């Protein structure tokens, strides 16, 4: 499973990229707001750090405007994935932009039917939001599993990009049900290394090592 970093924090992205933990990056208007930077400037910098897809989202409501914005965003760097919403206009934009050879990430997916029509419109990525489904007492992981089955049934090449990933359990479950990609904030990715028994074991090793009175260097 590929890891995308859901952030516009270039320092955090660079650190994870150096560790091989950033196969790509996703952004959205809320993330750009948090960065406090110009969307074109920060997106270009991110694209220079990671070689994988970098999702940059359109903000226009209509298809023609989405297409125009998508073309401008795609011009930032070859690894841009234009992010469009899962609306009828978004699907129209997806069809045109993907037909022009651009990667397209169709976002805000909450049903199998939405995922199905996004794939038929040529989406490179479909982004089901599992955390937001959990918020309304639906199991977001069931949606990932159902999309996986449908895509496998018919040979769709659209990659399942699990979004709204909020904790380490989400990451493990996404991998188990076959998501192609998961995107998460840097803090969630870092927390994958943490386990209470690892900490406990290391603490005991250090205490025992101190008792030996030895040094390695």
Active site residues: 83
What angle do helix axes 112-120 and 88-99 make, rounded to 10 degrees?
A: 30
What are the backbone angles phi and psi of residue 25, rounded to the nearest 5°? Answer: -140, 145
Provide the H-helix boundaries in the chain: 10-18, 29-35, 39-49, 63-74, 88-99, 112-120, 130-135, 140-154, 168-177, 186-191, 196-212
CA gap 150, 133 in Å, rounded: 19
Distance CA 180, CA 187 (A): 21
CA separation (Å) from 131 to 28, 116, 186? Answer: 16, 20, 16
């Amino acid at each position: 499973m590929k890891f995308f970093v859901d952030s516009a924090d270039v320092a955090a992205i660079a650190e994870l990229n150096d560790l091989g933990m950033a196969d790509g990056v996703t952004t959205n208007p809320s993330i750009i707001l948090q960065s406090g930077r110009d969307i074109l400037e920060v997106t270009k910098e991110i694209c220079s750090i990671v070689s994988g897809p970098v999702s940059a989202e359109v903000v226009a409501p209509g298809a023609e405007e989405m297409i125009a914005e998508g073309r401008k965003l795609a011009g930032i760097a070859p690894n841009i994935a234009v992010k469009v919403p899962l609306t009828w206009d978004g699907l129209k934009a997806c069809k045109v932009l993907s037909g022009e050879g651009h990667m397209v990430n169709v976002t805000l997916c909450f049903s199998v039917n939405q995922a199905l029509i996004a794939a038929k419109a040529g989406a490179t990525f479909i982004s089901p939001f599992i955390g937001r489904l959990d918020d309304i007492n639906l199991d977001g992981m069931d949606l990932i599993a159902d999309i996986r089955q449908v895509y496998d049934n018919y040979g769709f090449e659209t990659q399942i990009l699990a979004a709204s990933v909020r904790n380490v359990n989400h990451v493990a479950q996404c991998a188990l049900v076959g998501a192609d990609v998961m995107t998460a904030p840097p803090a969630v990715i870092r927390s994958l290394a943490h386990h209470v028994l690892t900490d406990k074991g290391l603490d005991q090793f250090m205490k025992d090592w101190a008792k030996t009175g030895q040094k390695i260097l």
